[in-house]
Amino acid sequence: MHSPTRAPAAEPPVREPGQSVSAEYLSQGMLRYEAEGPGIVGRNGRYFNNRPLYCRLNTDGAVLTGDRPLVRLIAKPYLHGALALAVQRGSRASWLHHWADIESRYHCGRMTWRCTDPAFAGLTVTLTAVPLHESAGFAARVCVTGAQTGDRLIWSYGGARQEEGDPRLNWDPVMRGNPDICRGGDPRRPLLNQGVVPEFCTGNTAWLGSPLAGASGVQAAPASGLPTGFTLSASPTATHVARGRVSRADELKIADAFRWTDPRTLLASTGGSTPMIAGAVRFAAGDDSWFCAVEVGAADAGVGSPRIADPAAAFADGQAYLLSTERVHTTSPDARLNAAVAAVCHAVDASCERDPYVFRHGCMTFSCRFVGWRVICGATVLGWHERVLGNAVYTIGLQKSSDPLRLEPMASTERLLCHEGNGSRLYGRGALDRDFPMYDVQSQFFDQTIRDWRATADPAMERLLRPALELHLEWMQECFDPDDDGLYESYINTLPTDSVWYDGGGSAEESAYAYTAHRAAMDLARRAGDPVAAERHRRRCEKIQHAMRARLWLPERGHFGLYREQLPPHRVHDDAWTYSVFLPIDAGLCSAEEALQSLYYTEWALERIRLPYGGVLCQLSNWVPWKWSVRDMFGGDLCALALACFQTGLGDDGYALLQGVMHESAYASAVPGGFSHIGAATDFGDNVHMFARTVVEGLFGYDPDYPNGIVHLRPAFPSTWPRASITTPDFALNFVQADGCDRYQVSLTRPAALHLQLPVRAGKIHRVTLDGRETAWQVAPGFGHAVLAVAIPAATTAELVIEFDRRLPESEALTVGGVVGEEIALRLTHGEVADWRDLHGVLEHARADGPVLRGRLTAKPGHHLILIAVRAGELPRWQVCKIHITDPETVRRHAGQTPREAPADARWECLDLASVCNGDIRTVFQQRYLSPRPATCSVRLGVDGYSAWTFPYWNLPPPPIDLAHVPSLLDAAGRIITPPQVPFAAFHADRNIAFTSRWDNWPAAVTVNIGRAARTAWLLVAGTTFPMQTRIANAVLHFRYADGTTEKLELIPPFNFWMLCPWGGEDYSYEHDAFCLPPQPPPQVQLGHNCRAMVLSWKLRPGVPLADVTLETLSRDVVIGLMGVSLEL
């Protein structure tokens, strides 16, 4: 029998990263784990299999551990069994995973459980599991203290099977669908509750001792002595088996798995069709230890490898390897950060193959050779430069140096012309011949590889990189900037670009990658003694900078737009996503003020979520309806946004985002120390590497440029931190505050000039010393503090001390709201107004009055920034002022102009549109939308007018549309009565809509003649729209009066126009996407299955005849039509 398990406390709401954050979670969500030293600790957790430990990637092996002490081994294509432990004292025996108090501790690839139970008074059992690093397998150590004479360990090993599909997917503790992810609700997988499963033993074969090659069946122990080795096979025909060895055994046998419930009964049983290996060993009184090692090998190998011949040595070897991978150590006031940094080291190590070095897409489900996305940069900041070089050798070896056939764009007919086909220039000279070729992963590959070259100036990397980069830049321009304007189209080139397309338009992402690549090519050419090439690349950098500002920057909003339309009128879509913000900042394309404005955009325009346990999340975009991955929060993207904050000197803002990533994944997820996503799985490469990079380069500010002999150091710690330090293979930094001074100690592995930019929060600097001697310094205003700049000649160590009087707090941003025309006062907490910068021109008659800036708000509703130059003591700083201007009168007037419901006593004239109808709404997706489609390497909407580029891969055809609900909507007069109580004339059978479109299939506009006055015009409008057309006018209704004046109503999704049907199976969701949607759905009527029409309204000028109404479509992708016009008289 076993002692009763202490029932874990009732669980708070559960959620995995990437899921929506419910109101319940916001109020009751809790961390599952805490940090203690370098370990991430849980107490009496519920789960099994929720913390993978990774063997060397080439082996495809992983060790599944979790909250409860059980060790399971997988290696493609098999589940290779699980180790469970029990203790017997007298007549009582109990499995450790049932004990009353279990502490789990995860630390950089090792899991340790400390177990106690009142039934075994004075006894503490500590089990530690580590993966084998050269083969698929694990080693385990049991340490006991307080053992009594006669206490013994009982253990079992069993439960093997051949998996259907990839075991890493089947046993991933987080992964729940892709593309149909589990956006909300309980994310937990059944595997979290699977401990010992006797059914898994069915059909297994087991041996004791060293089996002969090809042996099968159940064998007993040999007559001469008790063996310590065993073998488990999923079946007699399995190609690979698990071989194990224990350090000692008093009993070892083949038992019956279905007798496992009581450890004593299991040990007394005899195996049959469900064999399970079982053993026992007596503890010495007091302290004792025991070891076990298991590894996977070929079934025909005959005997196990020497690696597990000595289980204690195998354990020590595994421990030592994990210690060597923990390459970065931080100390800070946040213990969770320090432990998470230790955890990320194991995941970065586990994402890289050996012989050759190749980085994979992830550690569990997506453990595949795929260059995407940010799966290299973590190795750079952890100092694994030889791996980055090896990965570059392998990947650049895939680059095509010539291709005389693929010279022009050519869209894929097999994929509905959504993206380029195999014969396109996209796959020609300069392209990587890669897996998953539909993605442009090479832009990010070169971006990260360049960063590693800057971190080392390695001559081998330089020789490899220069010719490859020249080819890549030629490829980039010919594919994505064929008009040579300096603005590049982004072509499926970032992690969340599934179902994203720009229809040939230039955008920030690829332009930022091109800028980084040309800067590197300029430096490479200069170092190679090629000034002509260096100048060519310098001019290209200037062109990209100019194009970004002239063609994409939105000065009234303060950020880059999403993309600029390829065809006239070349509108800029202003509903940008986070990539439009952090990539230009990371590339160095933004001034400090531009970066500040861009980051502020993510605060007011995108959904920010403050987690109940600390930290902030930011939604990727506002694009709806959702489909993977147009509005998904990934940890890597959140880290990238945090990195941009750190790079801009906004340490508090950056750390709030970094905390959000760290807390929701490493501490609140089912996976302790994980960097995961519900649709991207456990320890997803992009999340892992970006967390590492953001800590090292962002929080600690390490920015090496060894090709130019410089290391920039710009730490951006939270303003209240009194200390922080980091040690990596490349550099170390120790920061300490003391009375009247800030001390920075820096060491570099290789000498370089040090350019330091350090925040100073003080009234006056007395002096700055370098290695004990006064040194020159400069000070400039930063956001909320002053910034001290010091240039140090080439060195490997430096100690800089800033001595000052009167430490001051950070100047937090002032947030002020007001209505148009209101007088406001911006009052400083300390210092006086010296000057100001009204970045968006929103303050009229501005004037300084000591510590106050006063002025009147202009008619520019929205969110804006003002910077006040403050002199706090003798040091300058910028006070950031966030201004929100509202215009309630205009909002009220617009609401009155567009009533949501008709009065009950209204009189009506319902117009017959037969003369202007040109199509059947039911056939909108049965057309072929072929032109205009400019011949560029672009991602576009499918020829069916419905499909994102992903839909042909996911088998998501357009849904059938009907008008089946119309008969039930008819009144006695034969009019269609809509929910807003507006009647419309009944439709004709097969010509029921007047379509408009920018496609050549339909006219761009249709006009309905009116010729009379009325109170309100009501219109029934239906059609298509897509996430890439949100928050921009897709169409416009022009109301032209008989006196020649015109009024207009813009159709802007999702505020007053919605797609007629679900898109890819997804519709507008207030549960998940309420932030993006209007407070209530726009007035509409369901005419049939997959046929929603919008009921729009416009108050007309009293007594003035309305000559006509014109519907004009503006957006390229959409088809929108009029189905009815009714006049409220």
- Which pLDDT score is estimated for 217? 39
Q: Is the pLDDT of residue 7 over 70?
A: no
The contacts of residue 855 (CB under 8 Å, 6+ apart) are 823, 824, 843, 844, 845, 846, 847
- Which pLDDT score is estimated for 372? 84
Q: What is the mean pLDDT of residues 556-573?
A: 98
Q: Is the bond into 275 cis (omega within 30 degrees of 0)? A: no
- Which pLDDT score is estimated for 10? 63
Is the four-CA dihedral 158, 163, 167, 170 of positive or negative sign?
negative
Residues facing residue 986 across a β-bridge: none
Residue 355 DSSP label: T
- State which H helix or E strand residue 160 sits in: strand 152-162
- Which pLDDT score is estimated for 988? 87
- Which pLDDT score is estimated for 1069? 98
Q: What is the mean pLDDT of residues 722-750?
A: 98
Q: What is the mean pLDDT of residues 838-860?
A: 97
Cα separations in angstroms, 721 against 100, 187, 548, 762: 39, 36, 37, 15
Coil, strand or helix at 363: coil
**Adjacency order of strands within the sheet including 488-489:** 488-489, 506-507, 563-564, 572-573
Angle between helices 508-527 and 459-480 in degrees, nearest 10 = 140
CA distance 359 to 685: 9
The contacts of residue 946 (CB under 8 Å, 6+ apart) are 925, 958, 1024, 1063
More reliable by pLDDT, 871 or 901: 901
Computed on alpha carbons and rounded to an integer, the radius of gyration of the chain in Å comes to 33
Please answer whether residues 193 and 264 qualify as being in contact, where contact means their C-beta atoms are separated by less than 8 angstroms.
no
pLDDT in tens, 745-769: 999 999 999 999 999 999 999 999 9
Please answer whether residues 85 and 277 qualify as being in contact, where contact means their C-beta atoms are separated by less than 8 angstroms.
no
The 10 Å Cβ neighbour count of residue 285 is 12
Residue found by looking up tokens 């004009």 in the block:
1112
Indicate the length of the chain as a whole number. 1129
Q: Quickly state the pLDDT bin for 301 (edges 50, 70, 90).
A: confident
- The token duo for 416 is 């509905």
CA distance 933 to 925: 17
CA dihedral 547, 549, 554, 560 (to 10 degrees): 80
Please answer whether residues 536 and 528 qualify as being in contact, where contact means their C-beta atoms are separated by less than 8 angstroms.
no
pLDDT in tens, 94-104: 999 999 999 99
Q: Phi and psi at residue 1063, in whole multiples of 5°?
A: -115, 115
Vertex 1035: Cα angle to 1034 and 1037 (nearest 5): 155
Cα separations in angstroms, 598 against 603, 757, 1076: 9, 22, 19
- Which pLDDT score is estimated for 220? 42
Coil, strand or helix at 22: coil
Please, how many CA atoms are within 13 Å of residue 251, restricted to the half-sphere of its CB?
19
Residues facing residue 722 across a β-bridge: none
Tell me the domains of the chain and their CATH numbers: 50-325 (2.70.98), 727-807 (2.60.40.1180), 817-886 (2.60.40.10), 892-924+961-1128 (2.60.120)
- State which H helix or E strand residue 24 sits in: helix 23-28
Average pLDDT, the chain: 96
Please, how many CA atoms are within 13 Å of residue 7, restricted to the half-sphere of its CB?
3
Is the four-CA dihedral 173, 177, 178, 182 of positive or negative sign?
negative
Q: Is the pLDDT of residue 112 over 70?
A: yes
- Which pLDDT score is estimated for 224? 42
Angle between helices 442-456 and 459-480 in degrees, nearest 10 = 150
One-letter amino acid for residue 170 of the chain: N
pLDDT in tens, 257-286: 999 999 999 999 999 999 999 999 999 999
- Which pLDDT score is estimated for 399? 98
Coil, strand or helix at 486: coil
The DSSP string of 46-103 is: --SS-EEEE--GGGTEEEEE-SSSEEEEEETTEEEEEEEEEEEETTEEEEGGG-SEEE
Please answer whether residues 216 and 204 qualify as being in contact, where contact means their C-beta atoms are separated by less than 8 angstroms.
no
- The token duo for 736 is 């300490």
pLDDT in tens, 372-412: 899 999 999 999 999 999 999 999 999 999 999 999 999 99
CA distance 800 to 743: 6
Please answer whether residues 856 and 843 qualify as being in contact, where contact means their C-beta atoms are separated by less than 8 angstroms.
yes
- Which pLDDT score is estimated for 223? 41
CA distance 854 to 847: 5
Q: Which of 525, 484, 593, 1038 is nearest to 840 (CA)?
A: 593
Cα separations in angstroms, 604 against 314, 607, 618, 882: 54, 8, 11, 10
Q: What is the 3-state secondary structure (H, E, C) of 1051-1102?
A: ECCCCCCCCCCCECCECCCHHHHHHHCCCCCCCEEEEECCEEEEEEEEECCC
Q: What is the mean pLDDT of residues 889-901?
A: 96
> E strands within 544-641?
553-554, 559-560, 563-564, 572-573, 608-610, 616-618
CA distance 651 to 695: 12
- Which pLDDT score is estimated for 221? 43
Q: Quickly state the pLDDT bin for 9 (edges 50, 70, 90).
A: low
Residue found by looking up tokens 């150091």 in the block:
713
Q: What is the mean pLDDT of residues 105-122?
A: 99
- Which pLDDT score is estimated for 215? 38
CA distance 1025 to 1051: 10
- Which pLDDT score is estimated for 435? 85
461, with CB counted inside 10 A (0-12, 13-18, 19+), is: buried
Q: What is the mean pLDDT of residues 906-925?
A: 98
CA distance 698 to 49: 33
Q: Is the bond into 625 cis (omega within 30 degrees of 0)? A: yes
CA 1090 to chain centre: 32
- The token duo for 999 is 């496609």
CA distance 115 to 97: 8
CA distance 703 to 710: 9
pLDDT in tens, 193-239: 999 999 999 999 999 986 433 333 344 444 446 789 999 999 999 99
Whole-number percent of the chain with pLDDT over 90: 95
Coil, strand or helix at 586: helix
- The token duo for 219 is 């064998």
Please answer whether residues 433 and 398 qualify as being in contact, where contact means their C-beta atoms are separated by less than 8 angstroms.
yes
The contacts of residue 395 (CB under 8 Å, 6+ apart) are 358, 371, 432, 434, 445
Q: Is the pLDDT of residue 514 over 70?
A: yes
Coil, strand or helix at 485: coil
Q: Which residues of 334-369 are buried (b: 16+ CB within 10 A; e: fewer)?
A: bbbbbbbbbbbbbbbbbbbbeeebbbbbbbbbbbee
One-letter amino acid for residue 285 of the chain: A
More reliable by pLDDT, 894 or 10: 894
pLDDT in tens, 38-73: 999 999 999 999 999 999 999 999 999 999 999 999
